[in-house]
């Protein structure tokens, strides 16, 4: 069935997103592709013909929520598992959830409209006994066609997120991202600028540049710093920022740009993950505590009053009380404006999955609570100070 027939126009699609800002942006890309193909995006799962779950595989807890959500949907609908969990489970997802109709990995999202058309046509056939008879999966894609980024669909037309790079080649020992999103690939600068310019022409004035490792960006001779300068010069842009930077790829020149470029926000998200050198080494983060603290001190010196936030994992395998205390001390001494604190979650495929998860659930919860309370106190104090 061609996607833009009257029949297809009546197909309503509900999409729910789990996970990070990359996933939020991917959901916009999927909505854009579906709208372009003539489908209706709806915000009520009960009224939808098709339900898509765009998923995250970074933590077990998020996965559990997805499986139970799939089970709760009414039968008779076309249900699709998309994103990192889809890539992780591939066609094995059908045995986890019988009512799934399609599974599509992050590198294959441009195929979703065609898949839904095929499944809709199949469910209309008089001979089709059940939707469960037909299953489609696409998880072999390596790279997205550039045009998926140019449908012009954004949830918020004033502040838009623009992907500058996909995937990651760092292989931190706990992280599933390189396995489900593939190696680091960079979009061409001209394509990034084309997307941004088009959003600005339609009324956007604020941009967030996205990538798993944004500051490793490279397009030929053009590196991340040069890209920032070009974006800063765009007419119609009021402000912009970027997510997420890796400490090992963070150059001192970046701090100067954060300070000097007029439109670039005076803020940096720099995940530290642990304050213990032993744990950082086991995590394969590529830096130690001193290196990280030196970066912070240079940032503070150059970007006066700049905001600083981080990510922390507690309870990594073998993390001792001493290791944890080092993280606690780092948080206390650094004074982050915000910190996102996570309990270690073993992920199959990753290197740390082979390690014994030595820290008990209870201990992880306690460590999580301790850092959270410490950070809440620090954030509160800094907010009050800023208001004065």
Task: Please provide the DSSP assignment of 198-230 as one string.
Answer: HHHHTT--EEEEE-TTGGG-EETTEEHHHHHHH
Q: Given the complex with ligand SF4, which of 88 and 246 has the nearer CB atom?
A: 246
Residue with tokens 């001779």: 221
Q: Given the complex with ligand SF4, which of 248 and 256 has the nearer CB atom?
A: 248
Q: Do 13 and 34 meet the contact criterion of CB atoms below 8 Å apart?
A: yes
Q: Given the complex with ligand SF4, which of 76 and 183 has the nearer CB atom?
A: 183
Residue 276's SS3 state is: coil
CB of 287 to ligand SF4, least distance (A): 11
CB of 171 to ligand SF4, least distance (A): 6
For residues 216 and 178, what is the distance between their CA atoms, to the nearest angstrom? 15
Handedness of CA 276, 277, 281, 287 (dihedral sign): positive
Pairing of strands 102-104, 239-243: unpaired
Distances 351 to 176, 245, 246, 355 between C-alpha atoms, Å: 9, 22, 19, 8
Mask: binding to ligand SF4, 14-53, rule CB under 6 A, as x and -? Answer: ----------------------------------------
CB of 165 to ligand SF4, least distance (A): 11
CB of 273 to ligand SF4, least distance (A): 8
Does position 347 interact with ligand SF4 (CB under 6 A)? The reply is: no
Distance of alpha carbon 148 from its chain centroid, rounded? 17
Mask: binding to ligand SF4, 161-200, rule CB under 6 A, as x and -? Answer: -------x-xxx--x-xx----------------------
CB of 345 to ligand SF4, least distance (A): 13
CB of 380 to ligand SF4, least distance (A): 28
Does position 212 interact with ligand SF4 (CB under 6 A)? The reply is: yes
Residue with tokens 């833009």: 4
For residues 221 and 239, what is the distance between their CA atoms, to the nearest angstrom? 25
Residue 157's SS3 state is: coil
Site for ligand SF4 in 102-121 (CB under 6 A): none
Choose, by CB under 6 A, the member of 77, 88, 246, 347 that binds ligand SF4: 246
Size of interface with ligand SF4, in residues (CB under 6 A): 10
Q: Given the complex with ligand SF4, which of 100 and 216 has the nearer CB atom?
A: 216
- For residue 96, give every residue at least 6 positions away whose Cβ sits within 8 Å of its Cβ, in sequence order, or none: 67, 89
CB of 131 to ligand SF4, least distance (A): 35
Q: Which residues sit at the interface with ligand SF4, rule CB under 6 A?
A: 168, 170-172, 175, 177-178, 212-213, 246
């Amino acid at each position: 069935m061609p996607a833009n027939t009257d029949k297809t126009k009546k197909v309503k699609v509900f999409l729910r997103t789990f996970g990070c800002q990359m996933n939020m942006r991917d959901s916009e890309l999927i909505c854009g592709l579906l709208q372009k193909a003539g489908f209706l995006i709806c915000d009520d799962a009960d009224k939808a013909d098709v339900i898509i779950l765009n998923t995250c595989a970074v933590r077990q807890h998020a996965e559990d929520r997805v499986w139970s959500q799939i089970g709760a949907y009414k039968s008779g609908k076309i249900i699709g598992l998309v994103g990192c969990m889809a890539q992780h489970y591939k066609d094995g997802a059908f045995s986890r959830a019988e009512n799934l109709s399609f599974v599509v990995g992050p590198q294959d999202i441009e195929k979703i409209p065609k898949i839904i058309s095929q499944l809709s046509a199949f469910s209309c056939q008089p001979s089709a006994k059940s939707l469960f008879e037909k299953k489609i999966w696409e998880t072999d894609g390596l790279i997205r066609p550039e045009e998926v980024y140019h449908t012009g669909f954004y949830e918020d037309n004033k502040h838009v997120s623009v992907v500058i790079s996909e995937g990651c080649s760092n292989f931190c020992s706990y992280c599933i991202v390189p396995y489900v999103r593939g190696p680091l690939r960079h979009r061409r600068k001209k394509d990034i600028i084309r997307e941004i310019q088009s959003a600005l022409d339609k009324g956007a004035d604020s941009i967030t540049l996205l990538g798993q490792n944004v500051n490793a960006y490279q397009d030929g001779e053009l590196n991340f710093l040069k890209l920032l300068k070009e974006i800063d010069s765009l007419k119609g842009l009021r402000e912009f920022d970027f997510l997420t930077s890796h400490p090992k790829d963070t150059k001192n020149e970046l701090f100067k740009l954060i300070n000097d470029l007029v439109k670039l926000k005076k803020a940096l998200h720099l995940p530290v993950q642990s304050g213990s050198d032993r744990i950082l080494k086991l995590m394969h983060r590529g830096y130690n505590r001193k290196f990280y603290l030196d970066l912070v001190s240079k940032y503070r010196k150059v970007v006066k009053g700049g905001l600083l936030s981080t990510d922390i994992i507690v309870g990594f395998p073998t993390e001792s009380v001493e290791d944890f205390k080092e993280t606690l001390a780092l948080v206390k001494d650094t004074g982050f404006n915000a910190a996102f604190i996570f309990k270690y979650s073993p992920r199959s495929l990753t290197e740390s999955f082979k390690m014994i998860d030595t820290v008990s659930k209870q201990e992880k919860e306690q460590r999580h609570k301790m850092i959270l309370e410490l950070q809440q106190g620090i954030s509160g104090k800094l907010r009050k100070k800023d208001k004065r």
